Amino acid sequence: MSADAVATAAAPAKRRGWWALLRSTGPAGIASAIVIVVATFMAVFGSALASEDPYVGRLSLSFLGSGGGNLLGFDAQGRDVMSRLLVGARSSMLGPLAVVAICMSVGTVFAVTSAWKRGTYDAVVSSGMDVLFAFPGILLAILAATVFGAGLPAAALALAVAYTPYVARVLRGAALRERSQVYVDALSVQGASSFSICMKHLIPNMAPLIVAQATILFGYAMVDLAAISFLGLGVQPPNPDWGVMVSENQSGVVQGYPMPALAAGLCIVVVVVAFNVLGERLYERSQAERR
Amino acid sequence: MLVATLLISSFIIFSAMYLAPGNPIAVLSGGRSLPPESIRVLEERFHLNEPFFTQYWLWLKAALHGDFGISIAQRQNVSSLITARVWTTAALVLYASIIILVIGIAIGLIAGLKPGLLDTSSLVATSVSAAIPSFVAAIVLILVFSVKLGWFPTIGTGEGFAGTVHHLTLPAFALAISSLAIVARVTRSSVRDELGREHVQTAVSRGIPYPQLVRRHVLRNAAIPITTIAGITIASLIALAAVVERAFSLNGLGAYLVSASNSKDFAVVQGISLVLVTAFVVVNLIVDILYAVLDPRVSLGSRAT
Amino acid sequence: MSTVTSEVWAAPGSGPPSLLEIEGLTVRLPVEGEERAVLRDVSFTISAGEALGLVGESGSGKSMTARAIDRLLPPGAQVEGSIRFEGRDVMAFSGADFRTYRDDVAVIFQDPRAHINPVRRIGDFMTEALRTTGNVPKHEAEGRAVALLHSVGIPDGERRLHQYPHELSGGLLQRVMIATALLTEPRLLLADEPTTALDVTTQAEVMAILDDLRREFGLTLLFITHDLDLAAAVCDRTAVMYAGQIVEVRRSTLLHDDPLHPYTAALAAARPSVDATAHRLTAIKGRPLSAFEAPLDACAFAARCPHAEDRCAQELPALTRIDDGLTRCLRAEELRGDLGVAEHG
């Protein structure tokens, strides 16, 4: 048998299509995916869908209840809540996206290179990761805000840095397992370069885990970023970010007008639950597939 | 290992000041203009004319003695400003930790030991509550228990022990709610795992009664992963407390950290950050020790992933 | 469905009383939503003081039989037939009777490291049952434990009691497991592949200990293994299982040279022999069937049997007596004598 045939025979089967994968996550997974699609839709088309300008408000309408075309009423500054939610979806979704994109890429690079090279490099990187492991992202974000000034980019970057050690550690284990599979040696023997093996085989085989991890992290990033915006250190008012909206309208809760704050809070919770549930299902599938 | 974390963190905290755009004086003064004498005092005080590492070393040494410098905004010793607020934060974190441990582990235990309706509903409940950020929980709790029902006050810390507990109840729950879900989840799956283990079968075959079995073999063994997750969650509370403190207008370290950040009061930010990181490291240390105590296969200093 | 009554079992003349009688035992487990049979009409008896070997490949149901006897079946298991211990129905035991039963029957498991709680000390493991259900004070329980450790060849028992499982080797742990099994002064020992997880040298040691202790304490032993020769070495009689059914029961010494069932013959032939010249290893073609895959109205082994005829696929053979053994083969009488392993030149 040629080495080629061995490699093909030994390499784990390619994943089936996206649709089959989604269906396998069950009704909960599908429902979550729908929620995520809706949220993405809002993020992309929010400004077009909003009936009123989310930045313009009339104080006379402050906290007025729902009526007419304003389904959710007005916020503290007399702005239409629905419009603000729709437009705010963009920053609320983009932030976590940036965080996840960065920490997953950097984490994967660290994980795969560590698993591949082993030895001193691995030891150094792993210790480094261990030291920073579980360091609270919010603290880092506060520091970043102090240094660079408040704003979404600094906060997102800080969170990405805080999450990277966790990602690197989780993926390193998976990368090690892939590395020890027979097909890797078979390909090496054939003369394939380490880089091409990693890019064409190792990482794609880790893809289910990577996707699952990214989904779960998106949820965490969203919660953390919303909290940072709530503190006033992330997205700045008057931008209609969901976290900002909660902080702006908090006074309304005690005064008897909870709707604006609750609506924003609810948006956050629903989307995060969707990401968590989908992510967990995807994770279970990625583990099951491995066996 | 943890000492390394502490050192590196303190280094990051300190050098952050140098990353800020503008010269250190401008950063220290927060952009306000100062008379030349003040500038000279600052330069001396913060050893700004000395090499970087000397400055770091001096700062660290002072910090170890409890001297964090002077707050620009308040013109007071940072350390006294910290001490005034640290008890609020500590009480809040402690209260929330108790809630997480007691309720979280209880839910996880029941769900793990008794499959069926209780279990499924706990899964749903924990899925949802894990996703609730503490500030959202805060406003919901305020809405229901403070405004509508009037059982708890909305803001402030209260006087005396009973008063403090009363005031801190809503904040503690807001802080605990998402961490509670995670602990409950892990407890449930650990208990489930242990129930299925072979050594439990051995005990059953020898006629060990169920209550003893659960206590001595299932719980005792499940305690290991539970302690790890409980430790991680409680450690993270230290930073998350800031959010809750803001939401409830509590005068704690976290809230102060945020306002100091806004006013660019650097010495305060550094001081509080260092205190928080130290607390974080201490909690992790305790977890490591507990882990070594609970699992005789593990020697101190290594924590299995 | 045939059942074997005790008349078939009773050897000519009266023998020692039977300690354990299993009749028509059928066990079904819920697997992925459906009920699957893991044991089909299993029947055998063990006399007091006897050692019975139970041999089979993976999936034959031998471990499940032991679990059924000790009532360790997973939840949702459906049990038909009867298991009688000293004439009393095991499945009906409850309360104090059940506790006594658990004391009377001790199990030695396959992988000692997985079966002993890693976070508790050896002493705790050994004395737990005595202290909780037996109300024996700790001091006395430990004394007994040390004495038993001595009998299994562990001299410094006192020290061992304070050690943790991860500090002991697999062989030592299995001895501890055996000693622990004996602590409750059982009447019946169920040894479920006690040496499979050990290396060959340790295997021999542990088997020797098991054998000695059995004779010394007059214990009844059900010895489960996949190794036909091992069973023959230790047990008076051996039962062979295939696809959840008993297919042969025979005196161990006769099993190898004069088997009654083609499967037994195939098992015996498949084992490489040290003093034979190198012939091809005779493997049994096909793969072993699990109990739920076995047909209800035909011989389960027919598909792989070199002696199969048409009627083997049409009729479920009953367990019939030949000589002083039992076999589940329609052609048993005809094949008598032809199934023995040929002597190699």
CB contact under 8 A, B240 and A230: no
pLDDT mean over B102-120: 88
Q: Pick the closest to residue A126 from A179, A171, A169, A162 (CA basis).
A: A169
CB contact under 8 A, B296 and C164: yes
pLDDT in tens, C16-33: 678 888 888 888 888 877
In this prediction, residue A2 carries a pLDDT of: 46
Cα–Cα distance list, B181 to B97, B100, B101, B172, C99 (Å): 13, 8, 11, 14, 39
Contacts of B212 in chain C (CB under 8 A): 132
Residue B279 pLDDT more than 70?
yes
pLDDT in tens, A118-145: 888 888 888 778 777 767 888 888 888 8
Cα–Cα distance list, A34 to B128, B147, B229, C26 (Å): 17, 35, 31, 48
pLDDT in tens, B184-202: 999 998 998 888 888 998 9
CB contact under 8 A, B135 and A243: yes
Residue C217 pLDDT more than 50?
yes
Write the burial class of residue A27 (CB in 10 Å: 0-12 exposed, 13-18 middle, 19+ buried).
Answer: exposed
Between B160 and C177, the higher pLDDT residue: C177
* pLDDT > 70 in chain C, percent: 90
Residue B218 pLDDT more than 80?
yes
Comparing CB atoms, the residue among B128, B139, B242 nearest residue A262 is B139
The amino acid that residue C87 corresponds to is: G
In this prediction, residue B19 carries a pLDDT of: 61
Q: Which residue of C has its CA nearest to B194?
A: C117
pLDDT mean over B253-266: 82
**Tokens 């005064």 found at:** A255
Comparing CB atoms, the residue among C115, C119, C133 nearest residue B209 is C133
pLDDT mean over A235-260: 84
Residue C287 pLDDT more than 90?
no
Confidence band of C279 (pLDDT split at 50, 70, 90):
low
Q: Which residue of B has its CA nearest to C124?
A: B216
In this prediction, residue C40 carries a pLDDT of: 87
Contacts of B197 in chain C (CB under 8 A): 114
Secondary-structure percent of chain B, ordered helix, strand, coil, rounded to 5: 75, 0, 25
Is the CA virtual torsion C176, C68, C22, C313 positive or negative? negative
Q: Which residue of B has its CA nearest to C166?
A: B297
Chain C contact present for B304, CB below 8 A: no
**Tokens 């893991």 found at:** C38
Inter-chain Cβ pairs, chain A and chain B, closer than 8 A = 132
Distance of alpha carbon B289 from alpha carbon B250, whole angstroms = 33
Distance of alpha carbon A150 from alpha carbon A241, whole angstroms = 14
Contacts of B295 in chain C (CB under 8 A): 118-119
In this prediction, residue C195 carries a pLDDT of: 84
Distance from CA of C165 to the nearest CA of B (A): 9
Distance from CA of A132 to the nearest CA of B (A): 7
- DSSP 8-state secondary structure symbol assigned to residue C49: T
pLDDT mean over B25-34: 61
Do residues C59 and C42 touch, judged by C-beta distance below 8 A? no
Comparing CB atoms, the residue among C72, C98, C118 nearest residue B205 is C72
Do residues C144 and C152 touch, judged by C-beta distance below 8 A? no
Interface of A with B (CB under 8 A): 127, 130-132, 134-139, 142-143, 145-148, 150, 169, 173, 219, 223, 226-227, 230-233, 243, 246-247, 250, 253-254, 256, 258, 261-262, 265-266, 268-269, 272-273, 276-277
CB contact under 8 A, C114 and B199: yes
In this prediction, residue A57 carries a pLDDT of: 75
Comparing CB atoms, the residue among B131, B142, B280 nearest residue A253 is B142
Interface probe for B, chosen from A75, A126, A138, A147 (most Cβ of B below 10 Å), is A147
pLDDT in tens, A13-62: 444 566 777 777 778 888 888 888 888 888 888 777 777 777 777 777 77
Between C288 and C185, the higher pLDDT residue: C185
Chain C contact present for B294, CB below 8 A: yes
Question: Which pair of tokens denotes residue A129?
Answer: 């990761």
Chain A contact present for B12, CB below 8 A: yes
CB contact under 8 A, A268 and B20: no
Residue C273 pLDDT more than 70?
no
Q: Which residue of B has its CA nearest to C68?
A: B205
Contacts of B294 in chain C (CB under 8 A): 119
Q: What is the secondary structure of C180-207 as a DSSP string?
A: HHHHT--SEEEEESTTTTS-HHHHHHHH
pLDDT in tens, C135-145: 888 899 999 99
Interface probe for A, chosen from B12, B28, B136, B237 (most Cβ of A below 10 Å), is B136
Q: Which residue of B has its CA nearest to C120?
A: B296
Chains C and A touch (3+ CB pairs under 8 A): no
Calculate the average pLDDT of chain A.
82
Inter-chain Cβ pairs, chain B and chain C, closer than 8 A = 65
Beta bridge partners of C51: C221
CB contact under 8 A, A227 and B247: no
pLDDT mean over C279-287: 68
Comparing CB atoms, the residue among A132, A139, A147 nearest residue B239 is A139
pLDDT in tens, B34-44: 677 766 766 66
pLDDT in tens, B155-177: 766 677 777 788 888 889 999 99
Q: Pick the closest to residue C70 from C185, C188, C176, C179 (CA basis).
A: C188
Do residues B126 and B206 touch, judged by C-beta distance below 8 A? no
Cα–Cα distance list, B103 to A273, B132, B260 (Å): 21, 17, 34
Helix (H, G, I), strand (E, B) or coil at B168: helix
Contacts of A130 in chain B (CB under 8 A): 1
Comparing CB atoms, the residue among A131, A135, A265 nearest residue B136 is A265
Q: A81-117 and A203-230 are packed helices; what angle lies between their axes, rounded to 10 degrees?
A: 140
* HSE, side-chain direction, 13 A CA sphere, residue A24: 15
In this prediction, residue C88 carries a pLDDT of: 87
Q: Where are the alpha helices (DSSP H) in A149-202?
A: 152-179, 182-190, 194-197
In this prediction, residue B28 carries a pLDDT of: 60
Contacts of C122 in chain B (CB under 8 A): none
Residue A96 pLDDT more than 90?
yes
CB contact under 8 A, A230 and B146: no
CB contact under 8 A, A143 and B136: no
Helix (H, G, I), strand (E, B) or coil at B236: helix
pLDDT in tens, A141-190: 888 888 787 888 889 999 999 999 889 888 888 888 888 888 888 888 88
Question: Which pair of tokens denotes residue C160?
Answer: 């061992």
Other CB atoms within 10 Å distance of the CB of residue B163: 13
Chain A contact present for B232, CB below 8 A: yes
In this prediction, residue A188 carries a pLDDT of: 82
In this prediction, residue C13 carries a pLDDT of: 42
Q: What is the secondary structure of C278-340 as a DSSP string?
A: -PPP-PPSS-PPPGGGS-SSS-TTGGG-TT--GGGGTSPPP-EEETTEEE--TTHHHHTTTSS
Comparing CB atoms, the residue among C98, C119, C133 nearest residue B296 is C119
Contacts of A131 in chain B (CB under 8 A): 1, 4-5, 8
In this prediction, residue A133 carries a pLDDT of: 73
pLDDT in tens, B57-107: 766 777 666 666 666 566 667 777 778 788 888 889 999 999 999 999 999
Residue C14 pLDDT more than 60?
no
In this prediction, residue C117 carries a pLDDT of: 92
Q: What is the secondary structure of B25-53 as a DSSP string?
A: HHHHHTT----HHHHHHHHHHTTTTS-HH
Chain A contact present for B13, CB below 8 A: yes
pLDDT mean over B4-22: 68
In this prediction, residue B121 carries a pLDDT of: 87
Residue C1 pLDDT more than 90?
no
Chains in contact with C, counting 3 or more C-beta pairs less than 8 Å apart as contact: B
CB contact under 8 A, A134 and B127: no
Residue C224 pLDDT more than 60?
yes
Helix (H, G, I), strand (E, B) or coil at C225: strand
Chains B and C touch (3+ CB pairs under 8 A): yes
Do residues B113 and B191 touch, judged by C-beta distance below 8 A? yes
Contacts of A134 in chain B (CB under 8 A): 232, 235-236, 284
Chain C contact present for B207, CB below 8 A: yes
**Tokens 């209550």 found at:** B211
Question: What's the predicted TM-score (pTM) here?
Answer: 0.79
Question: Which pair of tokens denotes residue C236?
Answer: 């008076």
Chain A contact present for B284, CB below 8 A: yes
